[in-house]
Structure 1
Amino acid sequence: CAILIIAGGTGEFEAGISKDGQTREHALLAFTLGVRQLIVAVNKMDTTKWSEDRFNEIIKETSAFIKKVGYNPKAVAFVPISGWHGDNMLEESTKMPWYKGWTKETKGGVVKGKTLLDAIDAIEPPVRPSDKPLRLPLQDVYKIGGIGTVPVGRVETGIIKAGMVVTFAPSNVTTEVKSVEMHHEQLEQGNPGDNVGFNVKNVSVKDIRRGNVASDSKNDPAKEAASFTAQVIVLNHPGQIGAGYAPVLDCHTAHIACKFAELKEKIDRRTGKSLEDNPKFVKSGDAAIVKLIPSKPMCVGK
């Protein structure tokens, strides 16, 4: 879930949803990254003198633009808040008697609440893919006295537990997991969504690094990708982008320059429908399917 914080002040909201505004960009980015649940918190209501008209105006404008991005406004909780004064954050505010609370439609029916905390509590938890092969991108690798090498990262899919033989790609290092910890407590196993540290045998901190991906050596281990196909959305770029362009790509915890080898097709960024085959270039606002070639060894998957 994403929480879109909107400044309610005169001029601030308008700047945020303008063509190049950050509010618009953040909503598009969240949808593009697959975030399908959204909460809109209209902040700085104190600067609007707790105005119902201003809140309704912002809801109307915001609903229109998030609908264009791909969200259903009826499934979004709109909450008027003041972060500075704490109104409607944890407890219901007395300064907006006109506000009767938010409602949103979900698969399970209509959900209602008053505060931002209520809206957060109403988020539907995602399905945790623990049945898939292990994928754990490393955020960092530590050397801890008396323990040894401890890689840390979040389990994206699958599980990790002591005794498992893991492979780090693309470094191509294989070793046994001695123990798994989260928040300084030993775990029987790490599940998807868990930020874990795990102790490994006979591996130096120089052998593995941030951006490597740990996987189960016996169950579809992660491999280096010579090239890969990606959906790319151009949010804001001064000119046209064609084959040969090489931006730095942040994929899981890897940070590597990748070359646009081939523009396969231009697509509708909301529906994914093909609009044009083999376009010569793409520009701001376009979405495309592109073949990318990493400049250094890189591990990437669906």
Structure 2
Amino acid sequence: DKRTIEKFEKEAAELGKGSFKYAWVLDKLKAERERGITIDIALWKFETNEYNVTVIDAPGHRDFIKNMITGTSQADCAILIIAAGTGEFEAGISKDGQTREHALLAFTLGVKQLIVAINKMDTAKWSEARYKEIIKETSNFIKKVGYNPKEVPFVPISGFNGDNMLEETTNASWYKGWEKEVKGVKKEGKTLFQAIDA
């Protein structure tokens, strides 16, 4: 709810980490908040029109890979969060990159549904070219892992501003939405929430 987010925003600002307000919904440990990384798995429940959803926030940091495996092995669907920032995306999909590693782990652990959230689009100035470049490169490597890119929604978001997470962003007039097709059934939407509901 809005009041909780405002509380987290105030607490985060006091530590000089105002942009972490959304992360703090799930990052409860003092060390997580101070270091700005997820260490332990955390659960958060909510309902969509179609599903009762339990988000398992699993750490992405290499030091906490055991915790990530524990969280991922319980999932029906994975949300692969990719940073759109120059250099960040490239590092993530490099030969030993964490993005590539996380997609492979999710598939290997039996998670057959995937959503790709392309985060930090605000730092990429909501560039359509950057969005398309990331989709192309990501589609290539998730296909090699075992996912069918046609079944994967690619959603541009800004976690910092909350853009395109619950409500459609006004910062990307070029963005017509995501679509996926599973077993001949097409689904489409615009936001990350809608992708979770699909």
- Calculate the TM-score normalised by the size of structure 2: 0.61
| Structure 1 residue 106: Cα displacement | 1.3
SS at match of 1:103: strand
Alignment-derived partner of residue 104 in structure 1: 180
SS at match of 2:188: strand
Match 1:12 to one of 88, 92, 98: 88
**Gaps (5+ residues) in structure 1?**
123-302
Cα offsets for 1:124-153 (capped at 9, x unmatched) = xxxxxxxxxxxxxxxxxxxxxxxxxxxxxx
| Structure 1 residue 3: Cα displacement | 0.2
SS at match of 1:41: strand
Alignment-derived partner of residue 73 in structure 1: 149
Matched, 1:82 2:150: no
Matched, 1:32 2:32: no
Match 2:170 to one of 79, 85, 94: 94
SS at match of 1:48: coil
Match 2:126 to one of 30, 44, 50: 50
1:179-198 aligned at under 5 Å gives the runs: none
Write 1 or 2 for the structure with the bigger share of strand. 1
State the alpha-carbon separation in 2 of the partners of residues 103 and 46 from structure 1: 22
Letter in 1 for 2:140: A
| Structure 1 residue 107: Cα displacement | 2.1
State the alpha-carbon separation in 2 of the partners of residues 43 and 69 from structure 1: 21
Write 1 or 2 for the structure with the bigger share of helix. 2
SS at match of 1:74: helix
Alignment-derived partner of residue 22 in structure 1: 98
| Structure 1 residue 91: Cα displacement | 0.1
Letter in 1 for 2:147: Y
Cα offsets for 1:247-279 (capped at 9, x unmatched) = xxxxxxxxxxxxxxxxxxxxxxxxxxxxxxxxx
State the alpha-carbon separation in 2 of the partners of residues 41 and 14 from structure 1: 15
Letter in 2 for 1:8: A
Cα offsets for 1:225-265 (capped at 9, x unmatched) = xxxxxxxxxxxxxxxxxxxxxxxxxxxxxxxxxxxxxxxxx
- Calculate the TM-score normalised by the size of structure 1: 0.40
| Structure 1 residue 57: Cα displacement | 0.2
SS at match of 1:47: coil
**Gaps (5+ residues) in structure 2?**
1-76
Cα offsets for 1:7-46 (capped at 9, x unmatched) = 0000000000001100000000000001000000000000
Cα offsets for 1:158-201 (capped at 9, x unmatched) = xxxxxxxxxxxxxxxxxxxxxxxxxxxxxxxxxxxxxxxxxxxx
Letter in 2 for 1:48: A
State the alpha-carbon separation in 1 of the partners of residues 83 and 195 from structure 2: 18
State the alpha-carbon separation in 2 of the partners of residues 112 and 49 from structure 1: 24
State the alpha-carbon separation in 2 of the partners of residues 107 and 56 from structure 1: 25
Letter in 2 for 1:15: A
The higher-RCO structure (CA 8 Å, 6+ apart) is: 2
| Structure 1 residue 108: Cα displacement | 5.4
State the alpha-carbon separation in 2 of the partners of residues 92 and 82 from structure 1: 11
Match 1:2 to one of 78, 81, 84: 78
Identity of aligned residues (%): 80
Matched, 1:62 2:148: no
Matched, 1:115 2:191: yes
Q: How many residues align?
A: 122
